[in-house]
Homo-oligomer: A and B are copies of this chain.
Amino acid sequence: MGLAEDAFDRLRRIAFEGEHIEKMAAIGVQKKLSPGVIKTLMRLARSDGISMGEMARSIGCDPSYITALVDDLDQRGLARREPAPYDRRVKIIVLSDAGQALAEEISSVLSVPPASFAALSRSELRQLRDLLDKVITADRGISGEAVVDPAAVQAAVP
């Protein structure tokens, strides 16, 4: 195994085996949110007020499923549909205050680093961040738009 493989292997282990995954699980179970609902909520947290169709493309599922997902969100009082001013066929999904709060709660849980990050000093953390940034920056030039089968994505989580 080469150096890059080694480094990437470590990275994957931290990302996929971390405690944040368990915390996510806890929230999902506790609030009885389906995976689809959580994905939708997280997408809205990133930018609220996108159309049904945009959401379908964004989380990689069929538009008809977005209908079910937003129905669910609506019944829970977490989001509502609003007509798009520019096209009466289009509906915009908008988070309610409660939805916004929940979305923030979920995404903040995901962004808390594992406690084991405390093993690194400030300068080591800076080094780590900068190295990873370099990878991300390099990636921008390489990859284009990605269309991924969601079923395979979940399978890829060991």
Binding site for B on A (CB under 8 A): 1, 3-22, 24-29, 33-36, 38-39, 42-43, 110-120, 122, 124-129, 131-139, 142-143, 146, 148-149, 151-158
Closest 6 CB pairs of A and B: A15-B15, A25-B152, A119-B138, A8-B113, A35-B155, A10-B132
Q: Is the CB of A156 within 8 A of B20?
A: yes
Q: What chain B residues lie within 8 Å of A110 (beta carbons)?
A: 12, 156
Q: What chain B residues lie within 8 Å of A113 (beta carbons)?
A: 4-5, 7-8
Q: Mostly helix, strand, loop or mixed at chain A's interface?
A: helix
A120 to B139, CA, bound (A): 12
**Nearest residue in B to A9 (C-beta to C-beta)?**
B111
A113 to B10, CA, bound (A): 11
Given contacts A122-B3, A135-B116, contact A25 B149 (CB under 8 A): yes
Given contacts A21-B156, A114-B8, A146-B22, contact A127 B129 (CB under 8 A): no
Shortest CB distance A21–B (Å): 5
A13 to B1, CA, bound (A): 23
Q: Is the CB of B14 within 8 A of A11?
A: yes
Q: What chain B residues lie within 8 Å of A142 (beta carbons)?
A: 114-116
Q: Is the CB of B24 within 8 A of A153?
A: yes
20 cross-chain CB contacts under 8 A: A3-B126, A4-B117, A6-B129, A7-B113, A7-B132, A8-B111, A14-B139, A19-B143, A21-B152, A25-B152, A25-B156, A29-B149, A29-B152, A33-B155, A35-B152, A38-B156, A116-B142, A119-B135, A124-B131, A128-B128
